[in-house]
Amino acid sequence: MKINLLVQYLALIDELRGQEETTAEFERLLTLYGFDYYGLLQTPKPVESPTSLLLAGRWPKGWPETYLRKRYMQIDPTLRYLGHAQAGFRWRDTLGAFRLSPHRKRMERMMVDARQNGLEDGYVFPVHGRRGLIGSLSLGGKPVELESVEIGLFDSIARRLYWKLIHVADPEQAERLSAVVDVELTRREMEALSLLAEGMTSHDIGRVLGISSHTVDWYMNGIQEKLGARNRHHAIAIAFRLGLVS
């Protein structure tokens, strides 16, 4: 293990000047650890390209174009796993979570393409803020065996590096992401929202909570108003982004 390298970078990161020096030192760390490629990204919306939200990165030549051309973002098992992860995880471990997915074959094809482009394996470290998942750090190349303590340190580096670079790249976005979430929902509204996020209808929610579907609809109207949502689907999306449901 090269734990001292990780600890030294964590101690040094606040003293580094600007994006260029910060990423240069980070890339030096990755080289010493055996990682050839990496990407630090903001979490994209479904209609956004991940390359437009790249804060820093280095990928095999042609791989980003292949990834976008084949629309792998729609089925990428590491991205799907990332949505529920609370700590760093290994790429190769994600396929097991989607054994029954109708997209399993395309997921496997993506992994084969990645290996053929020099991305044999790697790790992803989620970055969470007050509003839920806001970004991630991916490290890849030839297989590297990380111990649990190293994964924990890389988790810390991912957060520190993300916040350092987002403040440089987009100060307004950094301020929005770090702003306090000022949404107050009642206990009943939170219960209804959580059940809605599970895919339940008003009738289902009413049965679980022991209230009428009309009362559920009344709660939903209040939730949408407080969240500034256009409809129930929008309310769920906002709730996930704010970390109100998971």
The SS3 of residue 59 is coil
Q: In terms of domains, do 103 and 204 share one?
A: no
Residue 156 and residue 82 share a domain: yes
Query: Does 219 lie in the same domain as 160?
Result: no
Residue 119 to residue 103: CA distance in whole angstroms = 21
Q: What is the mean pLDDT of residues 84-88?
A: 87
Residue 187 identity (one-letter amino acid)? R
Choose the final residue of a domain: 137, 160, 178: 178
Same domain? For 164 and 94 the reply is yes
Domain identity same for 42 and 149:
yes
Supply 182's token pair.
């000022």
Query: What tokens does 28 get?
Result: 């030096």
% of residues, the chain, pLDDT over 90: 64
Confidence (pLDDT) at 188: 87
Supply the pLDDT for residue 47.
46
Shared-domain flag, residues 134 and 195: no
**DSSP 8-state class, residue 87:** S
Q: Which of 134, 153, 178 is the last residue of a domain?
A: 178
**Same domain, residue pair 28 and 48:** yes
Q: Are residues 141 and 192 in the same domain?
A: no
Domain holding 99: CATH number? 3.30.450.80
Closest CA to 214 of 232, 202, 204, 230: 202
Q: Within its chain, how far is the Cα of 130 from the centroid?
A: 13
Q: How many angstroms separate the CA atoms of 84 and 241, rounded?
A: 12
CATH number of residue 208's parent domain: 1.10.10.10
Same domain, 104 and 25: yes
Strands 121-129 and 37-42: unpaired
Overall number of domains in the chain:
2
> What Cα–Cα distance (Å) separates residue 206 from each residue in 40, 142, 216?
43, 52, 6
pLDDT one-digit tens code per residue, 100-156: 999 999 999 999 999 999 999 999 999 987 656 789 999 999 999 999 999 999 999
Give the domain range for residue 218. 187-242
* 147 contacts 1 by C-beta, under 8 angstroms: yes
* Per-residue b or e along 180-214, where b marks 16 or more CB atoms closer than 10 Å to that residue's CB: eeeeebeeebebbbebbbeebebeebbeeeebeee
- The CA-atom distances, in angstroms, between 215 and each of 126, 206, 220, 223, 230 are 38, 8, 9, 12, 19
Residues 203 and 162 in one domain: no
Query: What is the tens place of the pLDDT at every residue in 194-220?
Result: 899 888 999 999 998 889 999 999 999
Q: Are residues 94 and 44 in the same domain?
A: yes
Q: What is the pLDDT of residues 8-62, one digit of tens each?
A: 999 999 899 889 999 999 999 999 999 999 999 988 654 455 666 889 999 999 9
- In 3D space, the residue among 177, 187, 178 whose CA is nearest the CA of residue 223 turns out to be 187
- Please name every residue paired with 42 in a beta bridge, in sequence order, or none if there are none: 135
For residues 133 and 219, membership in a common domain is answered with: no
Task: Decide: 171 and 70 in contact? Cβ < 8 Å.
Answer: no
